[in-house]
């Protein structure tokens, strides 16, 4: 099955047809999508700023991680669900869109970086602390900020490549 | 009307014309606007959830507000600037868009809520700011209004985008 055929097939499903007719579904789902991104991006930023050392520098990284890391992973389910609804509504506009494809690649990279932080911190709880490997932690944090910002940008650009 | 003339003047300024006519500028400004809004809503929620007594209970409410709210203001400033640029590019139409008008009303409401909490709700902050202490009814009310206001602002902003063609 080619990408065109997949898009055509999704487009013909009853669900897709219904979403296309009900005009309120897409804006509502997009709003929920943005609110979930607000939680994920802000949580990632808090951890990243802590790793860089400009935020909550006197609190243990463990505490910042415990507070915000679950708020990166769990809302992803909401983002996945709302994302699938948006794809179902307009399959060709998303799946064949270079901005969407780039966004998915950036998302995979961001998740790898987040997982890497989790792994490195579990292996060495001094990771990111003044006593631990500073350069690696700061680099990881900056890459994470750039990736999450780029994901938001790519998401907005889907509308302009459609 | 005076307002109409002001809007037309705004729309004819060089910056407004540049935003309106340049193909790439608008999406870039819009992307920065979304990034800023996302950080406004995300960071203010951290404060609101603390005031509600739901999360970050291990840290004092006063300290949390002092640490987080500067980021909220920074992001809000960026959102306001990028929002104004987009508004100027098509001022007469935005000004007549019902959803956009409602969004501005909600922003004023969110601001008033914050000011009222700051001047009155924080008066007895010593009594409820400590880690583990139950926050005041006023703090919980302000936090609830704040969360609802910002969710509504995002909804109306997205709705404005869908009704501006």
In angstroms, the separation between the Cα of residue B154 and the nearest Cα of chain A is 6
Give the pLDDT score at B23: 87
- Taking the Cβ of residue B46 and every Cβ of chain A, the question of whether any pair is shorter than 8 Å is answered with yes
Disruptive mutation site among A29, A156, A161 for chain B (greatest number of B CBs within 10 Å): A156
Spell out which residues of chain B touch residue A42, defining contact as CB-CB under 8 Å. 38-39, 41-43, 45-46
Confidence tier at B165 by pLDDT (50, 70, 90): low
Residues 40-59 of A with CB under 8 A from B: 41-43, 45-46, 55-56, 59
- Taking the Cβ of residue A137 and every Cβ of chain B, the question of whether any pair is shorter than 8 Å is answered with no
Question: Do residue A67 and residue B56 have CB atoms under 8 angstroms apart?
Answer: yes
Mean of pLDDT over chain B: 95
Query: What pTM value is reported for the model?
Result: 0.94
For residues A106-124, give the mean pLDDT.
96
The answer to whether B158 and B164 have CB atoms below 8 angstroms apart is no
Range of the domain at B7: 2-162
Question: How many independent structural domains does chain B possess?
Answer: 1
Element (H, E) at A7: helix A3-12
- Taking the Cβ of residue A153 and every Cβ of chain B, the question of whether any pair is shorter than 8 Å is answered with yes
Cα–Cα distance, B82 to B29 (Å, whole number)? 6
Give the domain ranges of chain A.
3-161
Give the pLDDT score at A162: 80
Q: For a pLDDT cut of 90, what percent of chain B falls above it?
A: 93
Nearest CA in chain A to B63: A56
Confidence tier at B111 by pLDDT (50, 70, 90): very high
Confidence tier at B7 by pLDDT (50, 70, 90): very high
Alpha-helical segments (H) within chain B: 2-11, 14-21, 25-52, 61-89, 91-96, 98-116, 137-162
In terms of Cβ atoms closer than 10 Å to its own Cβ (0-12, 13-18, 19+), residue A26 is middle
pLDDT tens per residue, range A17-48: 999 899 899 999 999 999 999 999 999 999 99
Question: Do residue A157 and residue B31 have CB atoms under 8 angstroms apart?
Answer: yes
Spell out which residues of chain A touch residue B25, defining contact as CB-CB under 8 Å. none
């Amino acid at each position: 099955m080619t990408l065109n055929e997949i898009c055509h097939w999704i487009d013909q499903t009853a669900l897709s047809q219904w979403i296309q007719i009900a005009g309120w579904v897409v804006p509502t789902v997009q709003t929920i999508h943005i609110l979930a991104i607000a939680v994920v991006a802000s949580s990632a930023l808090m951890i990243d700023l802590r790793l860089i050392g400009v935020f909550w520098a006197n609190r243990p990284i463990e505490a910042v991680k415990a507070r915000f890391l679950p708020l990166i992973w769990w809302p992803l389910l909401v983002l996945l669900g709302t994302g699938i609804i948006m794809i179902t509504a307009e399959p060709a506009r998303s799946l064949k869109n270079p901005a969407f494809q780039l966004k998915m690649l950036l998302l995979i990279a961001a998740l790898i970086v987040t997982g890497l932080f989790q792994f490195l911190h579990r292996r060495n709880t001094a990771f990111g602390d003044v006593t631990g490997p500073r350069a690696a932690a700061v680099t990881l944090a900056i890459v994470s900020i750039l990736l999450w910002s780029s994901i938001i940008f790519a998401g907005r650009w889907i509308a302009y490549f459609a | 009307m005076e307002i109409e003339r002001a809007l037309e003047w705004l729309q004819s300024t060089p910056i407004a014309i540049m935003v309106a006519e340049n193909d790439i500028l608008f999406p870039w400004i819009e992307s920065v606007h979304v990034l800023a809004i996302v950080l406004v809503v995300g960071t203010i929620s951290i404060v609101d959830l603390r005031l509600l007594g739901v999360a970050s209970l291990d840290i004092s409410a006063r300290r949390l507000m002092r640490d987080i709210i500067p980021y909220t203001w920074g992001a809000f400033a960026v959102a306001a600037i990028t929002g104004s640029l987009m508004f100027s590019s098509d001022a007469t139409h935005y000004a007549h868009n019902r959803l956009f008008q409602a969004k501005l009303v909600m922003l004023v409401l969110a601001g008033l809520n914050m000011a009222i909490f700051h001047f009155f709700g924080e008066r007895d902050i010593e009594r409820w700011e400590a880690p583990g202490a139950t926050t005041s009814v006023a703090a919980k009310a302000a936090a609830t209004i704040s969360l609802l206001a910002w969710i509504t602002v995002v909804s109306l902003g997205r709705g404005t985008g869908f009704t501006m063609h």
